[in-house]
Chain A
Amino acid sequence: MRQAGAYSGLLCGGVSGRTGPHSLPLARIKKIMKNSGEGVKMISGEAPIIFSKACDLFIEELTRRSWIMAIQGKRRTLHKEDLASAVIATDIFDFLITLVSNSDSHAVGGATNVMEVETIDYS
């Protein structure tokens, strides 16, 4: 890309100049892949591109499910506890349970609150 293009990207907020057509930076994705284990030798150019879309879908799904938790709590601000509740309630997010519960000791409390709400709904 020519110099003018880089500056145009800069003035427009940098998204086009930095991530091209993708919403997430490919170089950063590749770095995270490299750091995921010693078994990772070489990564084709296609893999980070697929991950940029996969992560977009993942963030959307996680956020959507967390938002449902916030709504159940009569709130309109998404908090960490909502994410923990969504992770606990969704099978495919099992691999995140350790991560979200370690980052906040209130995660369990949040889950309890959700269960209480559900109990009330059923009665």
Chain B
Amino acid sequence: MEDESHNNTLPNGFNTGSPESPFLKTSTTTTQHNKEQDRFLPIANVGRIMKKVIPPNGKISKDAKETVQECVSEFISFVTGEASDKCQREKRKTINGDDVIWAITTLGFEDYVEPLKTYLQKYKEIEGEKLSIPKQMRSEQRLQQHHNNYHDQNNQPFNGAYASSNLISQPPYVPTDQKFSLTFSPNSIQSQLRQQDQIDSVGHWYE
């Protein structure tokens, strides 16, 4: 399927709409945008972590970052599936932290267990000291579960959070553009894709 081809992937990981269906471009792009957002972790975060472990003079190609994005999602699904099976065997409905650590051990990633436990312990300490951070995170998660990204947000802090989100995955845009994208969903998406097209210097829209 052409839409799934890496050749049609813009720098930030979004797929372009199909050239064969120009009249459905907006809705197709919106759907793909949402699906792409949901399937992978942000490429900027992934790239930053990758850079930590290679020498300063090393470089990372875009296709390597995209491949790692896919591998990480597969890792999450792989471990979650194992943890979920364990919960079902034990007649429990909630996957908790211990289930994840058990699954990670079972699947051969024993070396991760000690760092994970240390991390969780430190997180709990931070949580005790700074109540605002977990509260903000919980609010963000709750909001994302109940609202489409492109609905108007009356609460300003959440707009800020979404703008930050867009900034991470779309570095070329300035903050004001992101605010507009929250309000004028169809046009701004097309506008963003066109800008990406120009920056990319490859005529994706005209393939």
Residue ranges of A at the interface with B (Cβ–Cβ < 8 Å): 1-3, 5-7, 9-10, 13-15, 17-21, 23-33, 35-37, 39-47, 49-51, 53-60, 62-64, 66-67, 70, 76-80, 82-84, 87, 91-93, 95-96, 99-100, 103-104
Contact = CB atoms under 8 A, between A and B. Distances in A.
Contacts of A100: 67, 71
Interface of B: 6, 37-42, 45-46, 48-50, 52-55, 57-61, 63-64, 66-68, 70-81, 83-85, 87-88, 93-97, 99-101, 104, 107-109, 111-112, 115-116, 119-120, 123, 126, 132-138, 140-141, 144, 156-161, 163-165, 167-168, 175
B133 A32 contact: no
A44 B132 contact: no
Contact of A10 (B6, B37, B115, B164): B164
A36 B97 contact: no
Contacts of A66: 64
A91 B37 CA distance: 30
Contact of A49 (B68, B71, B73, B120): B120
Q: A interface, by DSSP: helix, strand, loop or mixed?
A: helix
B97 A39 contact: no
B77 A36 contact: yes
Residue with the greatest number of chain A CB neighbours at <10 A, chosen from B40, B85, B136: B136
Contacts of A39: 81, 84-85, 87-88
A30 B141 contact: yes
A49 B38 contact: no
Contacts of A35: 38-39, 77
Contacts of A76: 55, 57-59
A117 B60 CA distance: 22
A20 B120 contact: no
9 contacts: A1-B132, A5-B157, A25-B165, A43-B94, A50-B101, A56-B49, A58-B109, A78-B61, A80-B64
B167 A79 contact: no
B96 A60 contact: no
Nearest to A11: B175
Contact of A83 (B64, B95, B99, B159): B64
Contacts of A23: 45, 48-49
Given A42-B95, A95-B78, 6 more contacts: A10-B167, A32-B73, A41-B87, A50-B97, A59-B50, A67-B53
A32 B164 CA distance: 20
Contacts of B161: 6, 9, 17-18
B90 to A, nearest CB: 13
B100 A3 contact: no
B116 A53 contact: yes
Contacts of A84: 67
